[in-house]
Structure 1
Amino acid sequence: MKNKLLKIGLLLIILSLSACAKNNEKTKENSHSEVEITTVQGEKISIPSNISRIVSLSPAVTQVIDDLGQKDKLIAVDSQSPKYVKNLENLEQSDMMNLDLEKIMALKPEVVFVTDLTMFQSSDKIEKIKEKGTTVVVLPAEKNFKEIKDNIRLVALTVNQKEKGQAIISKMEKDITALKKQAETITHKKSVLFEIAASPEIYSMGKETFINEMIETIGATNVMAKETGAVKISEEAAILSNPDVILTNVNYMPHPVDDILKMNTWKEVKAVKNKAVYYIDNGRSSLPNQYIVGAMKEMAKVVYPDVFKNLE
């Protein structure tokens, strides 16, 4: 009888251990499972279902990841991201235009976010990252609000935060709608020159850019709207455009507004004559994500102070 009970006990132990082993195998499989998503460009890519090691090579993407509550999963970023997101200084960093391939691969990332500009500059290195089995998510350059929202949605989907991503987009849409509604009361549209690089190499933004859409959203007219994309303009052309307001987000010199106001050749330009020259936060106006709403509010307040005087 004792032998029979002993055999039954041993059998139960064996079955129990077998079940544990199978459960462990399932857990291991689940931890390495993948899901398929479709990128903005229509490419189908596979990503780990539970990502824990992310490399972001775009400050705009890094900000989105932070707002999605996933910053703790970042293991490396581009060299600009720490300027816009706090507490990233201790992470490994890489130049967006000249990737340090060995450094990135040594970190064993599961997902690497890059812009199509980085892809263009370092396509050979990015292909090597892919060959190692790492998922690379390429985000196209955003020309308008829709494309900005598409990229936010893609980042959120990749890091398994679809609902939080939609909440960010919904808040952005609500704020833009409110700005447009207030702008409808404007009867006399002001013309705006938005400077992104200062004299002598003056650059502005034309149509098919999100900055152009920002200008139009607050009820103003972009003096460079006949041009497309980023536009290098001569000083003569800038003066002839004779804008009512000049906005600049130049942050590589100490006093960009004063520099414009002091230029003798610009003294007859309406914006300079009326001292309607203003600085707009560089990060908010240059990084294509949800923070452009903050830049638009800045723009609205200085271009139409009476119309948007109660804007938060």
Structure 2
Amino acid sequence: MNVNAEKVIALKPDLVLAHASSMSASADAMKQLKDAGITVLTVNDAQSFQDVYKSISMIGKAAGKEKQADQLIQSMKSDLSGIEKKAAAISEKDEKKVFVEVSPDGYTTGKDTFMNEMLEDIHAKN
């Protein structure tokens, strides 16, 4: 990802979220943002729902919205629990095969990802 640091700085953001996967390609731009006094939060590459919850909590804390982040996490956990209960009734012969396209470049979700965990939770084959 090419980040135009000058344009971002001109927008005067309070917070910039950067994904861990793009940090090496954007290191100079992120340094420029930090040098301009902008808070840059690196969001980790979530490999499980637990990692997603941690990221939401971290972003909520950085944005001063911890209560809303906690509410979102609890809502997601509740929704997931309901989905898992419904999925428990799916027999192996009724499992669907699913292809998740992550980007138009042909990237798909792999084994150690929260998207794969999601598919497993609904008894779908990745």
TM-score in same-fold range (> 0.5): yes
1:167 aligned onto 2:47: no
Q: Which residue of 2 aligns with 1:140?
A: 44
Q: Which residue of 2 aligns with 1:186?
A: 90
What 5-or-longer segments of structure 1 have no aligned partner?
1-96, 223-312
1:116 aligned onto 2:20: yes
Q: Which residue of 2 aligns with 1:127?
A: 31
What 5-or-longer segments of structure 2 have no aligned partner?
none
Equivalent AA in structure 1 for residue 114 of structure 2: F
3-state DSSP class of the match of 2:83? helix
Structure number with bigger Rg: 1
Pairwise CA distance, 1:204: 3.2
Pairwise CA distance, 1:202: 5.2
Deviations 1:41-86 (A, max 9, x none): xxxxxxxxxxxxxxxxxxxxxxxxxxxxxxxxxxxxxxxxxxxxxx
1:149 aligned onto 2:53: yes
3-state DSSP class of the match of 2:73? helix
Q: Distance in 1 between matches of 2:54 and 2:14?
A: 22
For normalisation by structure 2, the TM-score amounts to: 0.84
Equivalent AA in structure 1 for residue 17 of structure 2: F
Higher relative contact order (CA 8 A, sep 6+): 2
Deviates more, 1:167-176 or 1:113-122: 113-122
Pairwise CA distance, 1:191: 4.6
3-state DSSP class of the match of 2:98? strand
Pairwise CA distance, 1:103: 1.5
Summarize the Cα distance change of 1:215–1:152 in structure 2 as closer, same or farther, 3 Å threshold.
same
Q: Distance in 1 between matches of 2:107 and 2:29?
A: 30
Q: Distance in 2 between matches of 1:204 and 1:149?
A: 22
Q: Which residue of 1 aligns with 2:108?
A: 204
**Which of the two has greater strand per residue?**
1
| 1:50-61 matched pairs, under 5 angstroms | none
Deviations 1:163-199 (A, max 9, x none): 11111111100010011112222232525131417xx
Summarize the Cα distance change of 1:135–1:218 in structure 2 as closer, same or farther, 3 Å threshold.
same
For normalisation by structure 1, the TM-score amounts to: 0.37
Q: Distance in 2 between matches of 1:108 and 1:195?
A: 36
Q: Distance in 1 between matches of 2:62 and 2:106?
A: 38
Equivalent AA in structure 2 for residue 124 of structure 1: D
Q: Distance in 2 between matches of 1:188 and 1:110?
A: 49
Q: Distance in 2 between matches of 1:108 and 1:128?
A: 13
